[in-house]
Amino acid sequence: MALHISSGCFAVICHSRVHRIRAAAAASEGSSTLNTVVDEKVYLGTSDLKVTRLGIGAWSWGDTTYWNDMEWNDRNEKAARDAFNASIDGGLTFFDTAEVYGSRLALGAINSEVLLGRYIKERKEKDPDVEVAVATKFAALPWRFGRQSVLNALKDSLCRLGLTSLDLYQLHWPGVWGNEGYIDGLGDAVEKGLVKAVGVSNYNEKRLREAYEKLKKRGIPLATNQVNYSLIYRAPEENGVKSVCDELGITIIAYSPIAQGALSGKYTPDKPPSGPRGRIYTPEFLTRLQPLLNKITEIGEKYDKTSTQVSLNWLVAQGNVVPIPGAKTKEQAKEFLGALGWRLTDEEVAELRSLASEIKPVIGFPVENL
């Protein structure tokens, strides 16, 4: 786990690391048997890092540009803190954030890394033995060049988080240029003992192979690729990303795994989501989504599960996937726990995919195609 420090912004701890490389075939579990329990942990790719089978995304924490109705206040922060603690209490101890979440350029925003670090510190003061696995991401901004830019950004992230080392560090998206230097920076971070494992995000098949091979030459596994992946956004299956991840032993971290709430069943054509999401999940789209939502509800009743839990379980059933739904409240965090410990049948998995395939997906993150 990443250790908390109570004073000072950053301390460098160098140590040698020996990676235990497992067979790439073991990265994908297959769909016939899945003995899932809430406290079970899985390896990220062929790295030595193990995390809970389902994590928590902190994109919304502190944000005022996409989430929270363009406002962040004490009530929002208390709700996020409660969500963090409810996750820990339930055994979900893997949290994903990024340096650009809650950007300081947005009015009223608070950086998500700062909030997560604050919550970890508060929790560890009460329970020093609590284990928290933290992942964050480097923003490939056009003015950042070379390997040192990655190390500099990582140190800034560690400062905001109040940590001396990180469990997983990821490139948030492929850069317009400088990608080789960014990958070098990831390798340097591992060798300097600043991170346990490294990954990328929004990388296509070609870029994945290039990053994998470059790190492999240094004996460092590319552990993860974080992508938009849900029942109604299956681009990773269609563009070769899922298959190359399974082939190379790279774990997919699925962001927006319940389609930013669209698969929860709480939105209808008469009640679409607020803010920017309302321009994506429009009344027209939600109307087309209704037959799938009805089937999800029907299956959920069979298992006494919510639509959110069914949708997350569908992703887990794909094998080699760790979903990271965003938890804005403790109720949501508790609900996510119910996605584990049971398994949809292969027939149900296929039926849901078939129904979902009839729905034209929303537009994804454009950098996926860089």
Q: Just list the catalytic residues.
A: 101
Please, what is the Cα angle at 118 between 11 and 99, to 5 degrees?
A: 70
For 315, the token pair is 């992703």
With beta carbons less than 8 A apart as the criterion, state whether 265 and 42 touch: no
Burial 197-225, CB ≥16 within 10 A → b, else e: bbbbbbbbbebbbbbbebbeeeebbbbbb
How far is residue 159 CA from its own chain's centroid?
21
For 37, the token pair is 């329990």
Could you give the 3-state DSSP secondary structure of residue 207? helix
* Cα 249 from Cα 138, distance rounded (Å): 22
Go through the chain and tell me how many residues it has: 370
All residues at 6 or more sequence positions from 100 whose CB lies less than 8 Å from its CB, including other chains: 137, 139, 172
Q: What is the DSSP string of 301-345?
A: HHHT--HHHHHHHHHHTTSSEEE--B-SSHHHHHHHHTTSS----
